[in-house]
């Protein structure tokens, strides 16, 4: 199947009635840097001039999850493929905990977005943003977290882990798309089709598999989601913080929000209606509007 990673942006724009000139498309390019761990990290650089925002995706996603948000923002930004995801190199250690990725993410931001005003992280990317800025608060002025807190556990995250624990290989593109649709009932089929094209690849034998270093069922069973230590990291941050929760998402509950407000009394909390865990997929325009308001305050 022919695939051009930048050849689908007109579909993103059309689905959300965003302006798009095929004769003058948005400037976006893929770049790769070597991180302190010795692994290559890949990222998408959007727009002209220094990046104003850095976007970190969730587990089992990649930088293209932000495409519609990036189009709506229409600002220079950097969307990073986290280690083991997208086009970034996999780790032999299989260690993709936020604290284990923080140094590589920090170095990538320093190299490619040294003037970033805000780091935005969703799910695993949100926890990684917290770990990264706790160690390197100089990287940015502000932080926005999308639908995750250190209170996450396996029960709350089952909406994600149940999907990831599925088959490693699929007989066809239609089969991998069908499973994706079944686990994402709030998203359009066109949106999910683009997502699979960005997040999966066809093997020489015609089968399809995911592009990320997936958690096999045995790894899911032993997965430690103990992130409580990151509550202290949140408390240490002086950065203004925007927190966006999907109204129908089970990943963040009322106790999590109470603890977040206790640890970070000045946090701005926004509940996004008609959105689950992946707000950037369910309500990308609304999320972009909140980010603009937060950045321009």
Verify whether residue 147 is a known catalytic residue. yes
Residue 197 corresponds to which tokens in the numbers above? 């094209």
DSSP string computed for 55-68: EE--TT--GGGGHH
Select which of 42, 123, 134, 191 is catalytic. Answer: 123
Select which of 67, 81, 107, 147 is catalytic. Answer: 147
109 contacts: CB under 8 Å, gap ≥ 6: 54, 78, 80, 116, 119, 132, 139, 140
> Which residue bears the tokens 């990264």?
132
Verify whether residue 123 is a known catalytic residue. yes
* Helix residue ranges per DSSP H, the chain: 9-15, 67-73, 98-112, 124-135, 158-164, 173-183, 189-199, 217-221, 229-236, 254-263, 279-282, 284-296
Instruction: Give CA–CA dist 118/141, Å, rounded.
Output: 6
Verify whether residue 249 is a known catalytic residue. no
**Are the CB atoms for 66 and 57 separated by under 8 Å?**
yes
Select which of 57, 198, 277, 290 is catalytic. Answer: 277
Positions marked catalytic: 123, 147, 277
């Amino acid at each position: 199947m022919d695939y051009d990673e930048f050849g689908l942006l007109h579909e993103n724009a059309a689905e959300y009635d965003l302006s798009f000139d095929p004769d003058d498309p948005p400037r976006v390019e893929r770049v790769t840097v070597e991180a302190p761990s010795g692994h290559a990290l890949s990222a998408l650089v959007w727009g002209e001039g220094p990046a104003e925002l850095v976007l970190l995706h969730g587990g089992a996603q990649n930088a293209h999850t932000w495409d519609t948000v990036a189009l709506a923002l229409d600002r220079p930004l950097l969307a990073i493929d986290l280690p083991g995801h997208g086009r970034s190199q996999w780790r032999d250690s299989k260690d993709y905990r936020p604290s284990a990725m923080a140094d590589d993410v920090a170095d990538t931001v320093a190299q490619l977005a040294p003037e970033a005003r805000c780091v935005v992280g969703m799910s695993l990317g949100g926890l990684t943003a917290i770990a990264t800025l706790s160690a390197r608060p100089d990287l940015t002025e502000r932080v926005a977290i999308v639908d995750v807190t250190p209170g996450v556990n396996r029960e709350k995250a089952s909406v994600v882990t149940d999907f990831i624990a599925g088959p490693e290989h699929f007989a066809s593109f239609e089969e991998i798309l069908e499973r994706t649709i079944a686990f994402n009932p709030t998203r359009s089929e066109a949106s999910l089709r683009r997502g699979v094209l960005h997040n999966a690849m066809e093997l020489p034998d015609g089968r399809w598999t995911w592009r990320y270093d997936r958690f096999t069922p045995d790894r899911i069973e032993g997965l430690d989601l103990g992130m409580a230590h990151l509550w202290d990291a949140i408390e240490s941050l002086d950065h203004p913080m925007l927190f966006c929760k999907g109204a129908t998402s089970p990943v963040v509950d009322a106790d999590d929000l109470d603890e977040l407000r206790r640890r970070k009394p000045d946090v701005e909390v926004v509940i996004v209606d008609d959105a689950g865990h992946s707000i950037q997929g369910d309500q990308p325009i609304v999320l972009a509007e909140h980010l603009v308001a937060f950045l321009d305050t």
